[in-house]
Structure 1
Amino acid sequence: MTNDLLGRHRAVLPDWLALYYEEPLELTHGEGRHVWDAQGNRYLDFFGGILTTMTAHALPEVTKAVSEQAGRIIHSSTLYLNRPMVELAERIAQLSGIPDARVFFTTSGTEANDTALLLATAYRRSNTILAMRNSYHGRSFSAVGITGNSGWSPTSLSPLQTLYVHGGVRTRGPFASLSDEAYIAACVEDLRDLLGHTRAPAALIAEPVQGVGGFTAPPDGLYAAFREVLHERGILWIADEVQTGWGRTGEHFWGWQAHGRNGPPDIMTFAKGIGNGMSIGGVVARSEIMNCLDSNSISTFGGTQITMAAGLANLNYLLEHDLQGNARRVGGLLIERLRAVAAQIPAVREVRGRGLMIGIEITKPGTDEADPQTAAAVLEAARQGGLLIGKGGGHNTSSLRVAPPLSLNVAEAEEGAAILENALRSIQ
């Protein structure tokens, strides 16, 4: 039946719509941190639908909220007052740390970043955007145009002029050998030099931890230092929290808080985990930025009642059960366990990350040369062992991505680490 479905998939869907595994999986149901395929095989899920199933599969509090809201009204558009949307916006505005915040809901992280770019360019009257090398911000025409990862940027055409800044990948590039302090200083000087050769940009958009890029990150404080330079020129800072938000990094509720010396970003985007699988994205910005558009707009599906009900229930569960603290504790144990294993595997160049956002970079032993074939082999071996993980990276997709639901317990972390250890040892 799966082969039949795969044939039907290939007959009607685009060739560029990627599928994992040599024999792609059809997932039929899930519970907690586990999912099952159409053959009845059970897997420990360490990728959560690309960091989207943030709390747990089939979380009763969320499924109940969705069911009850579906029995009342599912959708009305933003042309009518919407209580769940207002309530979730109030919560997010307060949690964002942005003063006098306004919230606009979308259906995805791509659409959220697209909206942030619209706001920034309209507010600043500039179509020049600063973005980070190795970045990823979505699939739309404008988001692809600022994506600094060639594997996810199918066209060089863009409505924006994009200039790429160095600093998002700590252990590669010309400054990799420097101390953290010297690294930040060198990146800031690079930014100053870049700004001396261009018209005033609208904004810098940056992921505090690069998601598709392989869970890479700069030293804490880099974006705070960048912010000082940007503020001198009135340039906005957009924090792309689509993958880093809601406590996934453990140490902070938002990724930008590791760089918060100079206050919150001007604009912040979010998506993925807040809906626990329901389609929610959004933008938070200071009121003068959010309100700068001088034409009418609505969102047909952004903020619809059923997704807002899910988001409220999911956020409540996250906060009441301190899943950020759980990500810090269990994620800390998991990353140390994986580092101990990696020390014995020559093909593992680096294990990095924080909280439940962990990257394992695979290279040809003794070199910095990417090895996507071996990374793919580990992905397959982990699946055979009963574990689902992701992959990414800016160097030919040779990083494995580990991002379980934030309710992961210690026993499940140990189980997943043991499967990953066997998968990594299988490539030697």
Structure 2
Amino acid sequence: MSLYERTRAVLPSWLALYYDEPIELDHGSGRYVWAADGTRYLDFFGGILTTMTEHALPAVTEAVAAQAAKIIHSSTLYLNRPMVELCEEIAAVSGIPDAKVFLTTSGTEANDAALLLASARNGSNQVLALRNSYHGRSFSTIGITGNSAWSPTSLSPFQTYYVHGGQRYRSPFAGLSDAEFVAACVADLEEVLDQTGGSIAALIAEPIQGVGGFTSGPDGLLGAFAEVVRARDILWISDEVQTGWGRTGEHFWGWQAHGAVPDIVTFAKGVGNGLSMGGVIAPASIMDNLPANSISTFGGSPITSAGALANLRHLRAHDLQGNAAKIGPLLLDGLRALDSPVVGDVRGKGLMIGVELVEPGSGIPGAPAPALATAVLQGCKDRGLLVGKGGLHGNVLRIAPPLSLTAEEAEEGLTILTDAIGAAS
């Protein structure tokens, strides 16, 4: 049996695989990965925005090897030096006053923990979320995800109210100016709040929606939301699982573009550079508010903490946020210069770029083109480039290379993308 056949025989059918002939990634170096058959690919997706610095970063592999030779696991029932050192560094760069950090094994678990903190603090299971959002695959985070493609059940421990503002291209407010768009979304939020009744625990929002297709409202929108919800004692949770650690180039955190500081921040993916790492940041007044004991068996394990700490220090020492700000526009400008009837929108910041593909000649302006996106995804792979796909309709190319991407590699990837879009259309 092939590895594909063995995969389908033993793993759930709902685990998606890319490509007509899925590939087995064998090893990586820098911004490149190699399949088991020896084919080399330029990686513009990083294992879903997870390989943040580079593949096989020596600082990370050396830190993991050194820690593995000492002790791999202990749990939070024992003092854990790598975990404390990592949390100290995260707290220092968090922008959260009097910050405390709780480490988890994924972004899903981080959002779970943030929802627990907010619901315990406010005594409510009501949550505000943005339309088109994605916050994880657990029972609770599915219940606050505003994207039907990733919501397999309507059952939930939360009562969720969805508001406008997560995306602009397909919004009923799409033609408005930034200020008008913000005003319209705030009015929508206030109307929803007036109709809910009772207390609400939190508003959770991605500064740039990841699975949703790298969409967002204008800068300042979440700050305007924060002003409204805080007047009603509702917490603001910023889901930075995909936007954190300098990926947008302009800021270290996505929330910093919005003129206000969130009450809780969640993170994951990039900080571990492939290691299973996530977490929550909150002021002590919120973090210490749970009325029961808790532990984590695997969150903040010595080996993942050691690797994540080495990765975070490398990111900061080499100013990879600055590199994202410098290299990102090469891709954005090149993609926006494409004269193609199938490219409906090119958006993003830094090295987080979405290309929305539409059906030309369908008679419906901006009609989503999911089959075309799949064809471009395949075409990029055939030409040696790995990209992602997302959006509510599955018609958005997601481009998110490691933050160490060079100008030459950006040009290489742009050429492949241009060719693949042209061929598919």
TM-score, with structure 1 as normaliser: 0.98
> 1:200 Cα shift?
2.2
CA contact (8 A) 1:348 1:365 kept: no
Q: SS at the partner of 1:197?
A: helix
- Per the alignment, residue 209 of structure 2 pairs with 210
> 1:68 Cα shift?
0.5
Q: SS at the partner of 1:44?
A: strand
Answering whether residue 237 of structure 2 is matched by residue 242 of structure 1, we say no
Answering whether residue 122 of structure 2 is matched by residue 127 of structure 1, we say no
Q: How far apart in 1 are the matches of 2:91 and 2:302?
A: 18
Q: How far apart in 1 are the matches of 2:360 and 2:106?
A: 38
- Per the alignment, residue 353 of structure 1 pairs with 348
In structure 2, give the amino acid aligned to 1:172.
R
Q: How far apart in 2 are the matches of 1:123 and 1:360?
A: 40
Q: How far apart in 2 are the matches of 1:416 and 1:427?
A: 16
Q: SS at the partner of 1:223?
A: helix
- Per the alignment, residue 57 of structure 1 pairs with 55
Deviation by residue 1:71-92 (Cα, 9 ceiling, x = unmatched):
1111100000001111110111
In structure 2, give the amino acid aligned to 1:17.
L
Q: SS at the partner of 1:301?
A: coil
CA contact (8 A) 1:237 1:266 kept: yes
Q: How far apart in 1 are the matches of 2:289 and 2:215?
A: 33
- Per the alignment, residue 424 of structure 1 pairs with 421
When structure 1 is superposed on structure 2, of 165-174 and 290-299 the one drifting more is 165-174
Q: Pairwise mapping of residues 372-411 of structure 1 onto structure 2 (< 5 A)?
A: 372-394=370-392, 396-411=393-408
Q: Pairwise mapping of residues 25-424 of structure 1 onto structure 2 (< 5 A)?
A: 25-198=23-196, 199-259=198-258, 261-262=259-260, 264-341=261-338, 344-365=339-360, 367-394=365-392, 396-424=393-421
Q: How far apart in 2 are the matches of 1:332 and 1:323?
A: 14
Deviation by residue 1:212-252 (Cα, 9 ceiling, x = unmatched):
00000110000010111011101000000000000000000
> 1:272 Cα shift?
0.1
In structure 1, give the amino acid aligned to 2:146.
G
Q: SS at the partner of 1:300?
A: coil
In structure 2, give the amino acid aligned to 1:5.
L
Q: How far apart in 2 are the matches of 1:281 and 1:95?
A: 15
CA contact (8 A) 1:47 1:389 kept: yes
Q: How far apart in 2 are the matches of 1:256 and 1:79?
A: 33
> 1:170 Cα shift?
1.6
When structure 1 is superposed on structure 2, of 3-12 and 178-187 the one drifting more is 3-12
Q: How far apart in 2 are the matches of 1:406 and 1:300?
A: 31
> 1:204 Cα shift?
0.3
Gaps of 5+ in 1: none
In structure 1, give the amino acid aligned to 2:340.
I
In structure 2, give the amino acid aligned to 1:364.
E
TM-score, with structure 2 as normaliser: 0.98
Q: How far apart in 1 are the matches of 2:135 and 2:171?
A: 21
In structure 1, give the amino acid aligned to 2:301.
T
Gaps of 5+ in 2: none
Q: How far apart in 2 are the matches of 1:174 and 1:326?
A: 35
